[in-house]
Structure 1
């Protein structure tokens, strides 16, 4: 998107790419992959799950990596909540986890004020937990793109501005289902009205869990003439013998292949040949502030 209309933003590069790893903090294997891919590969940014089991390890690694841009990966489905269950009993199960029935929960968020009030408490708690890390907030996105829901998006925008929200992911991929396009247009328009920078398109939805070298090379080869793209993925170190999947819902994810793709010399060479600039959201949309913070 053109950033000149955004308060405090500079004009974004005509063509730019942001390579982001989601689920930072979910597991130490994820965290190690993020560090490796940033130090030795093309990875620019990571999205932190503040209530995840390895969040403290992720923060410690991020503090050693001053050029890694870290954002908040808000979890409102299929993951652990930040607040204890007694504060948000309408949102989580007995173990303090959100369910994965997003359609049902979406109706509840929209129609039930008491559920919406608890949702606002949890969103604030996750922003507060990120702020407590001391890391600069590069961007915000949501697990499973739940900010496509208008209630979730409204709460993120109203609460997030108190915590320095400046950029969000627009989960718009080429070939997006027709039924989703009105929602995506709504998200784009609301981000623009709120003065929040965002990418123009993503790569990562159709190939979730399989963002291997071939996918990244194809994405770079087919870059549009203009616009900011975000390529997001889920890298992790390969499991040790006898070690299970990171989560039950990720049994089919090829985490190690995604890490290999981010480390691939062919991907790095293709990126150089493309002439596209790349970095985190801060680097793309707020370059002078990023240089001062490095």
Structure 2
């Protein structure tokens, strides 16, 4: 099980909550908004938390871009912010080559900004799950390979709308074909902004099999104090859930194996520890991947 905080870097109150939930609670991972106003503070906190797995939270909607507006005028407004009309923007990503070129440049810039932090890249996902869009996912897979991409969130929840199921199936096939790891299921979409102790305990009582990810939006304050678009979010209640002794006990019972996406991968073997190749065989012959 992977327990992830999204929007790391969005606001100092989010960053403080992530640090507390990692040190004193059950949080394993966080997804960093590299262009957000409190990103530098988030990176400084992450460096103090060796147990926190940090990934890239791509922002391609309702948030700030990394590149200046003059470089990506088809994507952002004069202040360098993406809009929230995702259906319209998704159609433009798909049909307009000049928009795709600017989109690729921005995705590359966000990967590069994450690499510049020096943090290990645990995973990639996107704000509002925009990486489910086939054009975005294709660019993430192509560009991400250059930056050590190994895992991507698959935002498939049991209660996913029927309309999304074909896109989820397509994303799963593409991730598998690319050899990129992903979770088997996610929890948190239906209760986004309201993953309090009660909701979390209810989810833990009926977990499906496989690798799961539960994602949160914790904060030491809530709602519009974090961002105007999040006026109904109960960030502080989500932090309380991550700090709850009852939640920790339920997790220890239901899923004792917890960590980040990078914990799914075995450490590469030390070449000095590898066995000698069999006589007449190629190096590594007869070995299988873990």
Aligned length: 268
Q: Distance in 1 between matches of 2:247 and 2:53?
A: 20
- When the two chains are superposed, the root-mean-square deviation of aligned CA atoms in Å is 1.1
Question: Which residue is 2:217 aligned to?
Answer: 234
Q: Distance in 1 between matches of 2:86 and 2:254?
A: 38
Question: Which residue is 1:282 aligned to?
Answer: 262
Question: Which residue is 1:248 aligned to?
Answer: 228
Give the drift of 1:213: 0.3
Choose from 10, 27, 35 the match for 2:19.
35
Choose from 48, 52, 72 the match for 1:68.
52
Question: Which residue is 1:172 aligned to?
Answer: 156
Give the drift of 1:276: 3.4
Q: Secondary structure of 2:6's match?
A: strand
Q: Distance in 1 between matches of 2:159 and 2:17?
A: 29
Question: Which residue is 1:118 aligned to?
Answer: 102
Structure 2 regions of 5+ residues with no counterpart?
269-290
Q: Secondary structure of 1:236's match?
A: coil
Q: Secondary structure of 2:7's match?
A: strand
Q: Distance in 2 between matches of 1:223 and 1:145?
A: 22
Task: Provide Cα deviations, 1:141-196, integer angstroms capped at 9, x if missing partner.
Answer: 00000011100000000000000000000000012111110000000000000000
Task: Provide Cα deviations, 1:31-86, integer angstroms capped at 9, x if missing partner.
Answer: 00000000000000000000000000000000000110000000000000000000
2:252 equivalent to 1:261:
no
Structure 1 residues 152 and 275: CA distance shift in structure 2, 3 A: closer
TM-score between the two structures when normalised by the length of structure 2:
0.91
Q: Distance in 2 between matches of 1:55 and 1:98?
A: 17
Give the drift of 1:287: 4.1
Q: Distance in 2 between matches of 1:179 and 1:244?
A: 30
Question: Which residue is 2:284 aligned to?
Answer: none
Q: Distance in 1 between matches of 2:255 and 2:87?
A: 41
Give the drift of 1:275: 4.3
Question: Which residue is 1:271 aligned to?
Answer: 251
Structure 1 regions of 5+ residues with no counterpart?
1-16, 290-294
2:163 equivalent to 1:193:
no
Q: Secondary structure of 2:31's match?
A: strand
Q: Distance in 1 between matches of 2:191 and 2:207?
A: 17
TM-score between the two structures when normalised by the length of structure 1:
0.89
Q: Distance in 2 between matches of 1:216 and 1:54?
A: 27
Choose from 86, 89, 93 the match for 1:105.
89
Q: Secondary structure of 1:141's match?
A: strand
Q: Secondary structure of 2:76's match?
A: coil
Q: Distance in 1 between matches of 2:255 and 2:8?
A: 28
Give the drift of 1:288: 3.2
Structure 1 residues 83 and 175: CA distance shift in structure 2, 3 A: same
Q: Distance in 2 between matches of 1:174 and 1:209?
A: 18
Task: Please tell me whether Structure 1 or Structure 2 has the larger radius of gyration of its CA atoms.
Answer: 2
